[in-house]
C-alpha cells in the first residue's frame, strides 16, 4: 500500500516525548518529511531526529518555545527555508498545572493558557502564509476530552483546550475557501509521561470506566492525525475527533 503522507511536509510541536513523539514516528513511517520542536528535552529531540532520518525521510528538530510569538515566527520561517514547503501543522505542545480554582495562582493560569492556547495562535498564524500561497494545508490541534466536558481540578487546562476548539472552528471557516483545513483531536486518557506520574490505582479505575477497557496509546492519537493530515480527510474540516475509547459516549 502506498504511504498516506508521501510527498507531505509536517511540522509537529512538542515531539520530544509522549503523543508528539508518536505522531512524528508514525508520520515518518507514512512517508512524511518531519520538522518537529522540543523545549527542555534536548537529548531526546536529537535522538528523535536520528530515528526519523533512519526511516528514510527528511527530518529536523528545532529547539523552540511554541508559546513565544517571535520564536514561532522564526521557527516556521526556518522550516520553510529548510524543507521548501509546509503542508501539515500539528499543534501538540501542551502542559498541565492542575489545581482547584482556589489554589490556582495567576501565574499558573497565565502559563497554561500561554503554552496550550496562545501557542496554537502563534504557530497557525505563522504557518498560514505558506499554506495560503500554495492553497493547500491541514492544521491539526490537540485539544482534549477535558476541553469538551470540563474536569474538576483542571479549570485552567479545560479552558485552554476548549479555547482550542473555538479557534479551530473559526480557522476552518476563515481558510476553507483556500483549501486549508483545520481540525481538532480530543484525546481521552492516553498513557504517556504526563499520566505516568498518577497513582496506579486511579489509573486502573480510569481504564475500567472506558468502554474499550484500556488507556489509549500515542499511536492511537497519531493514526487519527495521519487521517487528518492526509487526503483521506480531504472533505473534513472544523471537526473535533474524540480519540478516547468511547469515554465521552
Ligand atoms: P507530554 O508527554 O508532557 O509531552 C509534552 C511535549 O510538549 C513535550 O515534548 C514538551 O517538550 C513539549 N512542550 C511543552 N511546552 C512546550 C513549549 N512551550 N514549546 C514547545 N514544546 C513544548 O504530553 P502528552 O501527554 O504527550 O500531551 C501532548 C498533547 O496532547 C498536549 O497538548 C496535551 O494537552 C494533549 N492531551 C494529552 C492527553 C493525555 O492523556 N496524555 C489527553 C488529552 C490531551 P520538552 O519535553 O522538550 O520540554
3-class secondary structure, 133: helix
Ligand 1 atom nearest to CA at 21? 9
Ligand 1 atom nearest to CA at 146? 43
Catalytic annotation, residues: 157
Grid cell of 168 as nine digits = 479551530
The ligand 1 site (C-beta within 6 Å) comprises: 13-20, 37-41, 65-67, 92-95, 115, 142, 144, 187, 189-190, 192-195
Q: Which tens digits make up the pLDDT trace of 141-190?
A: 999 999 999 999 999 999 999 999 999 999 999 999 999 999 999 999 99
Instruction: Report the separation in Å between the CA atom of 19 and the middle of ligand 1, taken as the mean of its atom positions.
Output: 7
Q: Which tens digits make up the pLDDT trace of 26-47?
A: 999 999 999 999 999 999 999 9
Query: Is the CATH code 3.40.50.720 the one for domain 9-243?
Result: yes
For residue 128, count CB atoms less than 10 angstroms from its CB and return exposed for 0-12, middle for 13-18, buried for 19 or more: buried
Give the dihedral sign, CA 70/40/156/90: positive
Cα separation, 105 vs 107, whole angstroms: 5
Is 90 exceeded by the pLDDT of residue 99?
Answer: yes
Is 80 exceeded by the pLDDT of residue 195?
Answer: no
- Dihedral class, residue 38 (left if φ above 0, else alpha if ψ from -120 to 50, else beta): beta
Ligand 1 atom nearest to CA at 157? 34
For atom 39 of ligand 1, the residue with the nearest CA is 190
Instruction: Report the separation in Å between the CA atom of 93 and the middle of ligand 1, taken as the mean of its atom positions.
Output: 4
- Edge to edge, the sheet with strand 240-243 lists 59-63, 33-38, 9-12, 88-91, 137-142, 180-187, 240-243
Strand partners, 190: 216
- 147-186 burial code (b ≥16 CB/10 A, e <16): bbeeeeebbbbbbbbbbbbebbbebbeebeeeebbbbbbb
- The whole-number pLDDT of residue 1 equals 67
Q: How confident is the model at residue 198 (pLDDT cuts 50, 70, 90)?
A: confident
Grid cell of 123 as nine digits = 504557530
Amino acid at each position: 500500500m502506498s504511504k498516506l503522507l508521501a510527498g507531505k511536509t509536517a511540522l509537529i510541536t512538542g515531539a520530544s516525548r509522549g503523543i508528539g513523539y508518536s505522531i512524528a514516528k508514525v508520520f515518518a513511517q507514512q512517508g512524511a518529511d518531519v520538522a518537529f520542536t522540543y523545549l527542555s528535552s534536548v537529548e531526546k529531540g536529537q535522538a528523535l531526529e536520528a530515528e526519523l532520518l533512519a526511516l528514510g525521510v527528511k527530518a529536523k528538530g528545532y529547539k523552540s518555545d511554541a508559546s513565544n510569538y517571535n520564536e514561532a515566527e522564526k521557527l516556521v520561517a526556518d522550516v520553510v527555508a529548510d524543507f521548501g514547503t509546509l503542508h501539515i501543522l500539528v499543534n501538540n505542545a501542551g502542559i498541565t498545572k492542575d489545581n482547584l480554582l482556589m489554589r490556582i495562582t495567576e501565574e499558573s493560569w497565565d502559563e497554561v493558557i500561554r503554552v496550550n492556547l496562545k501557542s496554537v495562535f502563534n504557530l497557525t498564524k505563522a504557518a498560514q502564509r505558506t499554506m495560503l500561497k500554495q492553497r493547500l494545508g491541514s492544521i491539526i490541534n490537540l485539544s482534549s476530552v477535558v476541553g469538551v466536558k470540563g474536569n474538576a481540578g483542571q479549570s485552567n487546562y479545560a479552558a485552554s483546550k476548549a479555547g482550542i476548539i473555538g479557534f479551530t472552528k473559526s480557522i476552518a471557516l476563515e481558510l476553507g475557501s483556500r483549501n486549508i483545513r483545520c481540525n481538532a483531536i480530543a484525546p481521552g486518557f492516553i498513557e504517556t509521561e504526563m499520566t505516568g506520574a498518577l497513582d496506579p490505582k486511579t489509573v486502573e479505575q480510569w481504564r475500567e470506566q472506558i468502554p474499550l477497557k484500556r488507556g489509549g496509546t500515542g499511536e492511537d492519537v497519531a493514526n487519527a492525525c495521519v487521517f487528518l493530515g492526509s487526503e483521506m480527510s480531504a472533505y473534513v474540516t472544523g471537526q473535533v475527533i474524540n480519540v478516547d475509547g468511547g469515554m465521552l459516549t
